[in-house]
Amino acid sequence: MRISLANIAGDIRTIEVPASTTIAELSARAAALFAPQALVNVWLALNGTPLADQAATLQTAGVHQDDMLFVQIEAAGAPPAPVQPAAMSAQAAGANPAIPPGFVEAMQGRLAGMHRQQAIEENLRLAMEHTPEAFGRAVMLYVRGEVNNVPVTPFVDSGAQVTIMSRSLAVKCGLEPLIDTRFAGVAVGVGTAKILGRIHAAQLRLGDNLFLMCSFTVIDDTPAEGAPKGTQQRHSAHALRIQDINIPFLPEHELPASARGLNAPSEEEPAASSSGTAAASPAPAPTPAAPAPPAAVPPPQAARSSPAPPPVNVSEEAIQQLEALGATRDMARQLLTHARGDVELAAALLFQ
């Protein structure tokens, strides 16, 4: 079994011993650990109770796995007087100033911390052996694409709830006039970002021949922390597969500087987070296509200025209906406000 020995100085030694080890044998081993060059007398105590029977085994003395025993060492002079259990109990309880009150509890807490640190070190060793890529910088997954005929480098997030776009990219793609500010809010994930609104429909091209009509949630140009792709490429996930079309992930040397974690400005700004499935079919990266000129987008026909809409009366029943679908109370209230009190529209927004 594994037990720990602690002396009054706070030194802790963890050892492996058989359950059949006697108290006398363990005392001799404790003397070798704590005072190898001196002739000493050793007394052991468990949870403040002295272990006076030197012939008893650890099992019969009530010592279990991961228990901690207090070791008291005295210089050997004259033959020691017989140990009185009552005196040892008083000493363990703190009557003797050599054993401060709370010492055993403090040592047990320290021992628990040592065991926790040992588990952490073992977990670290396991990770370094089996997943060494977790300790390096991993470039995230990007593909080649276009938004409104403007070349972009979309970032692929297979767990994304919406497709996001920065405000500067919306300006670059000529889509800023189409931002519906009624869908403004706050995006919460790894950090937070201000949502400026939503572009309800724009053409997104992925790869060479996949064209999708897509809506974009436009966020402020606040830099956000990104999580590395981890083990996807380690398990041969080299392409995004949509409708039986493989869209290769871009190799690192084809990414813009900002996507590689560099501070240099890039013409191709990372654009959108696209939901999809990582396919385990390796595919070579195609030759970059020549960028097409951006298409002019007519301004929306809606009037530039309009009177402020009347306040929305959000009912408690509607909030509870959205909470039953998984929304928080604040989220339900915000969705109902955007939907002007329409529960069905708010539910549709929740699952987008």
What residue ranges in the chain does DSSP mark as E strands? Answer: 2-6, 12-16, 40-46, 49-50, 68-75, 145-147, 150-156, 164-166, 185-189, 191-206, 210-219, 239-242, 245-248, 270-274, 277-279
Q: Domain range holding 24?
A: 2-126
What is the tens place of the pLDDT at every residue in 182-208? 999 888 776 788 899 999 998 888 877
Q: Retrieve residue 221's tokens.
A: 């140009």
Flag whether 299 is in a domain. no
Mean pLDDT across the chain: 72
Residue 157 annotated as catalytic: yes
The rounded percent of the chain whose pLDDT value lies above 90 is 10
Domain assignment of residue 304, yes or no: no
Give the residue, 157 or 17, on which the prediction is more confident.
17
Per the domain annotation, does 216 fall within a domain?
yes
Cα dihedral 325, 327, 333, 337 in deg (nearest 10): -70
Does residue 351 surpass a pLDDT of 50?
Answer: yes
Q: Based on the domain organization, do 218 and 269 belong to the same domain?
A: yes
> Mean per-residue pLDDT for 22-34?
89
Residues making up the chain, counted from first to last:
352
Model confidence pLDDT, tens digit, residues 333-344:
888 887 778 887
Identify residue 334 by its one-letter amino acid code: Q
Q: Judge whether residue 134 has pLDDT over 50.
A: yes
**Residue 61 in contact with residue 53, Cβ under 8 Å?**
yes
Q: Are residues 171 and 238 in the same domain?
A: yes
Considering only residues 279 and 185, tell me which one the structure prediction assigns the higher pLDDT. Answer: 185
Q: What's the whole-model pTM score?
A: 0.39
Q: How far apart (Å, rounded) are the C-alpha atoms in residues 179 and 186?
A: 15
Catalytic residue among 53, 67, 157, 208: 157
269 & 180 share domain: yes
Return the pLDDT at 33: 87
Which tops the pLDDT comparison, 262 or 97? 262
